[in-house]
A and B are shown apart, each in its own frame.
Chain A
Amino acid sequence: MYSDLVMDHFRNPRNVGTIEDADGVGNVGNPVCGDVMQMMIKVKENRIEDIKFQTMGCGAAIATSSISTEMVMGKTLDEARELSNKAVAEALGGLPPAKMHCSNLAADAIHLALDDYKSKHKN
């Protein structure tokens, strides 16, 4: 059902946790749907210096969260904004069709964290 890479990220998720003084936080999902994700970012000189996630959800939800943090770590905010859910799924070698929509929300969570950062740092 899942690729080896999905299972690797599920078993050994990268960048799990929270950032005490995060510059931006993004929450997506809904407990009623079974998937909830939170992304926290630390920004330095317009780059993502650190990113951590917490996810309640299925294997796909955890794996997409994990790999997406690797995909944006160290990237500029503009580069991070370009990350799409589709690109996350492709980086994992694909996801089962049923999981493409409900559990593939990591890029959305990162975008919300970037929005949160932007709204807090307008000046």
Chain B
Amino acid sequence: MNNLVYLDHAATTPVHPRVLEEMLPYFTEHYGNPSSVYSLAQETRGAVEGARQGVADVVGASPRDIVFTSGGTESDNAAIRGVVWALRKHGDHIVTSAVEHHAIIDTCHQLEKLGFKLTVVPVDSYGMVRVEDVEKAITDKTVLVTIMMANNEMGTIQPIADIGALLKEMSKGKPRKVLFHTDAVQAAGALDIKVNKLGVDFLSLSAHKYYGPKGTGVLYIRRGVNFLPPQSGGGQERNRRAGTENVPGIVGCAAALKLADEKREAYLKHCVPLRDRLIQGVLSIGEGVHLTGHPTDRLPNSASFYFDNIEGESILLSLDFEGVAASSGSACTSASLEPSHVLLAMGIPAEQAHGSLRLTLGWDNDEAQVDHVLGVLPGIVNRLKAMSPLVHQ
């Protein structure tokens, strides 16, 4: 067994060796600026356009609809800001959910301060958005709905295709369609992200979540939709994202997505049994441990919990001593000192949200590693419970 049991793949993944191999020539050998005319540059231009085709194939779009970015946060920001400023003469209302990533939530709240209107639709106790709540939230002034495809903290998969169909249906007889963005950062490699099946106009990806390099991502933009690029400059990416292309990153971003898409079935076969073994094993620790997120409509690699009367950071530190890397939505592990907004939105009280634990699997995990975690976790939980004044009151 490997010394480190890495169970934080929702935070980031290692670059796949084949992806790295494809990237390497673009650092030192093919270093030309893709915008230049000489043949050195044409080599890199070709690589960027090849990468664009590769991403387009996976999301079921045309290469011209693909914009390379610096990652999920930039893609989310660009989609939201790009739509609301482009359409502000037509409407000023944004709809999002209570469990989005901070790249979405904080952007929406900032726009609210600038005068835009915001509706945050609630979620059920599994963290799932109800389609009818989205429907109720739409007004004549709504320009954008942004809802994530799958949640990073507790893995619940949202009914994106249903919401996409709803927005299409609601646009009948209207002067314009309410645009639909989904943050698919956690979904890529695990779920089908074909944009037409989902009915989305924008889709965000981040390469380092699917064994690609950090600092690279994708924004899919449906052709013909209103979009005012937040970043202006040299006209790259068809004027939608200025700045000299991160050629090695773009090559890696696309190679990793292609690989993840090819191996998607195998990935599910690898992760789901390990996930279910983890979930069953952790829940069998006994009283005071709860699964978070949907029991079945959840990411194949995501097992998330909260524990009564113990605190998440102390679980993580204890797991680290046992060679296990995990994460928590506890306030103590965040800069904000607030417990996870995702868990609170699901109706989990703040005092229990502090005791959350997220274990996210990947290709490098195996059954022996899962059993190692299941072997050490009961002792950790019992030790911390024995120290907790709340258990003894």
Contact = CB atoms under 8 A, between A and B. Distances in A.
B300 interface: no
A102 interface: yes
Interface string B328-342: 001111010101000
A12 to B, nearest CB: 11
B10 to A, nearest CB: 20
Max chain B Cβ within 10 angstroms of own Cβ: one of A16, A57, A98: A57
B330 A62 contact: no
A37 interface: yes
A13 interface: yes
B389 interface: yes
Contact of A31 (B332, B335, B390, B392): B390
Nearest to B330: A34
Contacts of A103: 332
A34 B317 contact: no
Looking at chain A, what size class is its interface with the partner chain? 20 to 34
A9 B388 CA distance: 15
A102 B338 CA distance: 11
B330 A56 contact: no
Contacts of A94: none
Interface in B290-341: 309-311, 313-314, 317, 321, 330-333, 335, 337, 339
A74 interface: no
A27 to B, nearest CB: 7
Contacts, number: 73
A10 B317 contact: yes
A54 B392 contact: yes
Contacts of A98: 335, 337
Interface string B372-391: 00000000000010111110
B350 A13 contact: no
A61 interface: yes
Contacts of A99: 332
B351 A54 contact: no
B311 A57 contact: yes
A56 B331 contact: no
Contact of A27 (B311, B354, B389): B389
Nearest to B339: A34
Contact of B351 (A31, A38, A59): A31
A86 interface: no
Interface string A53-68: 0111111111000000
A30 B311 CA distance: 12
A58 to B, nearest CB: 4
Shortest Cβ-Cβ A-B pairs, 4 listed: A31-B351, A34-B354, A58-B332, A58-B313
